[in-house]
Structures are given as C-alpha cells and as structure tokens.
A and B are shown apart, each in its own frame.
Chain A
C-alpha cells in the first residue's frame, strides 16, 4: 500500500479512478485532489476504510486523530472499526474547554492546530489521519501535539500523497501509509 512496488491491492485502482482532480483550485496552479467524489461511491469509500482498517486493526492503536475537516471523514470510521478513540484536531477556537495548540507554516504566514487537554494520554498509541499529505506541515503539527502529551505516534495515514512535495520527510521519522500517489 505504502509506496513499495509490490502487487497493489486491486481495490486501490478503483479508489484512484474516483478521485477528481480540479485545476486551479483554490488558486491558479494548484491541481486540487478532490476526495468528495470517492465518498459518492459507497464501494470506493468502503474500500478506502477497509484498506486502513485491515492494516491497523492488530496494531493496538488506542487513538485515531483526524485533522479538520477532511480527516473527520476518514478517521471516525477507522476508529470505530478498530475500537479506538477518535480525537479531532481542529483550527483555532473551535474546540470548547481547555486545549493545547501547535503552530505550523503556511505558504504565507502561520496557522494553528488545537487538541483537547485530556483527550489523549501518555502511553496512547496513535494514528494520524488526513485525506492528503502535501508538504507535511499539518501532519507534523499533529505529531507534535500527540507527542507533547506522551502518546506514541505509530503511523500517519493519508488517502493521497503528493510525493514531489516531500512531506514524507517532515514526519519526524514516523512512517506514512498512503493509497494513491499524484505526480
């Protein structure tokens, strides 16, 4: 699944064909990878979740952290299937109660990712989920949040990787599992 050229699971091609590429969104020059078309195909959506569940169900994952907002589409079904907690990692000021935050760089300026205090405990084994990895900045912020509270990040899981942006190198040594590459 992850980037080895072994025999690819036949479900992966079905998922890949459902991803819609939208040119010049949100701005000129960006070929936007739209996963909402995968969600419109119940079989492709189920296959996506099944592939991740099969990989993680025997790895003793206690928490799945999903990055707002498209990580919320894939993280909860995985968490439910493997019996793990789901923790939303959110943009600033969305989470009520006490939070910690991690800043990360955008093309222009910074943004922040927040997590609830007490949601993740020391010793939790965590999976981070998002729809896509580009530069890896957001995933790196997520890893930092989880490690700061003493969790062990086992892996990051994304449906799509943009390998040319080398996000894989920015994951603090954590492995990445992805289903589809876009070059």
Chain B
C-alpha cells in the first residue's frame, strides 16, 4: 500500500520526498535506475518528513520493536524507533553481529545472501516493524520477516521509503502488509 492510497493523497511532503531522491542510471549495473536516497538525507526537511509520516502511522500501533536492514535501514529505523519508544534491532550481513545469531538465506539475482539477527534481541509476541529504504523483489524483507517470526515476534508491517508500483493496493509480502511512501522516478528511462 502506498501512502497516497491511505490518506496522504495530495500531501505535499510526499512530493518533497520524491523530488529529493536522486536517480543514478545503470548502477550497480546496466539497466538499473538506482534510487539514491542519500540526497534525501542532505535535505533535513525532507528527511524529517519521512520520519514524521512513519511515526504518525506507527505511534499508536503498539510497536515494541523496529528492525532495520543493513545498511540503509539503519538510517531510517532508529529515528522512528526513538520517536515511538521502541527498541531497534539491526539485521545484518553475515559475521557482523557478535554473540548468538540466527540467519536466513535469501535469493539474489545470481546466488544467495544471508541476513542475521541476534537471538537475544527479540522476545516472544513482540510487535515488530521492518524498515528498509527500498523494496524491489521483496527478498530481503521476506528474509527479515522470517527471522523475526522464527524468534517469536509478530511482524505488523514492513515500511519502505521507495517501492516499485507492483506493491500498490493490498499487496502483501509473506502475508504481511507493506507501507511505501513513494514510487521510483524515471524507472522507464533507460538511455544508452
């Protein structure tokens, strides 16, 4: 579900957020129009809009845990967690987290990768939000949902700043709702 479908149609903050995201063609490889959120972070007003919109949505949903996917999920997750009084849990590439971890494999275009979470971070029945900057295939978010559910948490929603248009409507990921602020821009402009 996109923010515009859920009460934020015409909200000028969404246009400001969309305008602040830079598109880098052919990164990391030919044909990909990379949605670069670092330019959003250079605009304190637009960055704050992102956090405010997510906080307004989640502050009354009894979320006790925000899980952010390494590394760009670390930028958006903590400000939300701090504002709603939830814990923040980093979901990391293999070998980065000390102590006992569980890991979940997910598919890349070629081969697989793994995401890890500390086993001691989550208590049973916690209500969790998963956050990343962008959702494309949903592979990383699905792995994140799996990790949290294996630890006994209930994933309430997945939230992303940018999402492909296929996630409109009541599209779910592993049965969990998805909340997205803006679509990618210039997705179809592939020039050589």
Hey, which bits of chain A sit against chain B, CB under 8 A?
20, 22, 25-26, 32, 34, 36, 39-42, 45-46, 49, 68-70, 72-74, 76-77, 79-80, 83-88, 90, 93-97, 116, 119
Contact = CB atoms under 8 A, between A and B. Distances in A.
A97 B36 CA distance: 9
Nearest to A41: B87
A119 B38 contact: yes
A69 B128 CA distance: 22
A34 B96 CA distance: 11
Contacts of A97: 22, 24, 27, 36
B34 interface: yes
Interface in B27-52: 27-28, 34, 36, 38, 41-44, 47-48, 51
28 contacts: A20-B99, A22-B99, A25-B98, A26-B98, A36-B118, A39-B89, A42-B82, A42-B85, A45-B82, A45-B87, A68-B71, A72-B72, A72-B75, A76-B41, A76-B47, A76-B75, A76-B76, A76-B78, A76-B79, A80-B44, A80-B48, A85-B42, A85-B44, A94-B71, A96-B24, A97-B27, A119-B38, A119-B42
Interface in B88-141: 88-90, 92, 95-99, 118, 121
B98 A80 contact: no
A20 B118 CA distance: 13
Contacts of A45: 78, 81-82, 87-88
Nearest to B35: A96
Given A22-B98, A97-B27, A97-B36, A84 B88 contact: no
Contacts of B98: 20, 22, 25-26, 32, 34
Secondary structure call for the B interface? mixed
B97 A49 contact: no
A36 B74 contact: no
A40 B41 contact: no
A25 B28 CA distance: 32
B154 interface: no
Most buried by B among A34, A69, A116: A69
Q: Please name the 5 residue pairs, one residue from A and one from B, whose CB atoms are nearest each other, closest first.
A: A22-B98, A96-B24, A72-B74, A96-B27, A25-B98
A3 to B, nearest CB: 26
A68 B93 CA distance: 13
From A68, A73, A84, A95, residue with most partner B Cβ within 10 Å: A73
Contact of B51 (A69, A80, A95, A119): A80
B181 interface: no
B149 interface: no
A40 B121 contact: yes
A68 B27 CA distance: 20
